[in-house]
Amino acid sequence: MIKACLFDLDGVIVDTAKYHYKAWKKMANSLGFDFSEKENEQLKGVSRMDSINLILGWGGITLSEADKAKWASQKNDWYLEYLQKMDKSEILPGALELVQELKEKGYRVALGSSSKNAVLALSKVGMLHYFEAIIDGTKTTRSKPDPQVFEMGAAALDCKPSECIVFEDAESGVEAAIAGGFYAVGMGSPDNLGKAHLVLSSLEGVSIDDILVKITIS
């Protein structure tokens, strides 16, 4: 029986993926190269330092660990400039309604994000209070596709993975959920999220009962 839902943040609850992309692009451009939206797809769900390593690889650039840390911090400053301006309008369609429905129906709800800015982003859009547990990049030691973030979320809610549904927009996040024995709902395209139990293009108008029927559990 499903008792809990674990939500990724960027790309599931809020539309911050575009800001991560803009900030990383600014860094790449400052270093004299660019990268595509297709390449950016590979950064979703990936931690800040793993992301910078991938991006520098695409640009054929080698930096010292100290310089990498400096650029990662600069990228975060740019990202925070976007984040500070966010409000409720950047909650993705249907996300707030689904979380509210879950709470009303007695499901447990937690966050499972790679971001170290998750609490700030949730506060900016007024959704922090819905989450009983926040597992984010400040608490994990291993990046998605490692299931650690969701395992910690399930443990915090005192649930087994088989009692939880994970909502994820990143291929690495869907892989993490499947590897951990969770039900996975992919948010986006079946082209890269096909391993999920169900793929949805949006949460708009979606209720938990629809999801339970579609993943054939109850």
Residues that bind Mg ion (CB under 5 A): 8, 10-11, 45, 169-170
Amino acid at 88: K
Cα 190 from Cα 212, distance rounded (Å) = 19
SS (H, E, C) 104-118: HCCCEEEEECCCCCH
Nearer to ligand B16 among residue 39 and residue 212 (C-beta): 39
Cα 218 from Cα 216, distance rounded (Å) = 7
Cα 208 from Cα 27, distance rounded (Å) = 40
Show Cβ contacts of residue 83 under 8 Å, excluding neighbours closer than 6 positions: 16, 19, 117, 120, 121, 124
Give the nearest distance from C-beta 32 to ligand B16 in angstroms: 22
Give the nearest distance from C-beta 128 to ligand B16 in angstroms: 14
Give the nearest distance from C-beta 208 to Mg ion in angstroms: 20
Residue 115 binds which one of ligand B16, Mg ion, none, with CB within 5 to 8 A depending on kind? Answer: ligand B16
Residues that bind ligand B16 (CB under 6 A): 8-11, 20, 43-48, 51, 76, 113-117, 137, 170
Residue 148 binds which one of Mg ion, ligand B16, none, with CB within 5 to 8 A depending on kind? Answer: none
Nearer to ligand B16 among residue 10 and residue 171 (C-beta): 10
Show Cβ contacts of residue 214 under 8 Å, excluding neighbours closer than 6 positions: 198
Nearer to ligand B16 among residue 137 and residue 145 (C-beta): 137
146 is catalytic: no
Nearer to ligand B16 among residue 12 and residue 206 (C-beta): 12
**Residue 140 DSSP SS3:** coil
Residue 116 binds which one of ligand B16, Mg ion, none, with CB within 5 to 8 A depending on kind? Answer: ligand B16
Decide: 188 and 169 in contact? Cβ < 8 Å.
yes
Give the nearest distance from C-beta 202 to ligand B16 in angstroms: 16
Residue with smallest beta-carbon separation from ligand B16: 113
10 is catalytic: yes
Cα 98 from Cα 188, distance rounded (Å) = 17
Please give the positions annotated as active site: 8, 10
